[in-house]
Amino acid sequence: MTNPRPQLNRIVNDIEKILDRIPYDVKHKGGFYVDHYMEECLETVDRINELQNVTLRQKLKAKKRVFEVYFKLQKYKGPHVAYHDEQRIIYTGGLGYASVSKAILTQRMGKTVNHYWKPNKAPPTTDRPIFDISEYKGKETMEEWRTKMAAEKKAILDALL
């Protein structure tokens, strides 16, 4: 039976070397593809969990080292690029779903449907005219306004008492 510890050390060392790639990628590619390397860290944690014949303590130490790299990558504030290893990644999505496609992208044929837009229902038809014709009485005078306000005030006070 082979000793799994060297395999575990090799896996973790590969992840720790990611931080050394930052200056090279920035210089030669114009930025660093942080998302790819963060995803690689998480995949490595899954690989560590699946290793056989490794003690729980060894797994925890290895995962701690991998997560230290992951958290340093989260704090990275330098330039980013949207591709890795000369392979462009295309981000697609719609209707709240997002995906990263490396395979086939399909495009809908025909009329696009907006599932969020619902047209207003037409108002019911009535026999009433659209506008109301009323008699124009002109602008009220100050005396008429005072009389009307006094009547409204009296009506409100009577209703409260």
Average pLDDT in the 45-55 region?
Answer: 89
1 confidence band (pLDDT: 50, 70, 90): very low
Query: Rounded to two decimals, what is the model's pTM?
Result: 0.49
Which residue, among 81, 77, 62, has the nearest Cα to 14 in the 3D structure?
62
Higher-confidence residue: 76 or 15?
A: 15
Cβ distance 29 to 84 under 8 Å? no
Supply the pLDDT for residue 92: 45
Q: Do the bridges between strand 87-88 and strand 90-94 make them parallel or antiparallel, or are there none, so unpaired?
A: unpaired
Residue type, 58: Q
Cα of 43 vs its chain's centroid, Å: 22
Q: What's the rounded Cα separation, in Å, for the pair 26 and 38?
A: 17
Domains of the chain, by residue range, sit at 5-83
In terms of phi and psi (left: phi > 0; alpha: psi -120 to 50; beta: otherwise), the region of 3 is beta
Supply the pLDDT for residue 23: 86
Average pLDDT, the chain: 78
Tokens of 159: 């209703």
66-119: per-residue pLDDT in tens? 999 999 988 888 887 776 555 544 444 445 555 544 444 455 556 777 778 777
Cβ distance 9 to 66 under 8 Å? no
Q: Find tokens 């207003």 and name the residue.
A: 120
What is the phi/psi pair of residue 32, to 5°? Answer: -120, 135
Supply the pLDDT for residue 83: 61
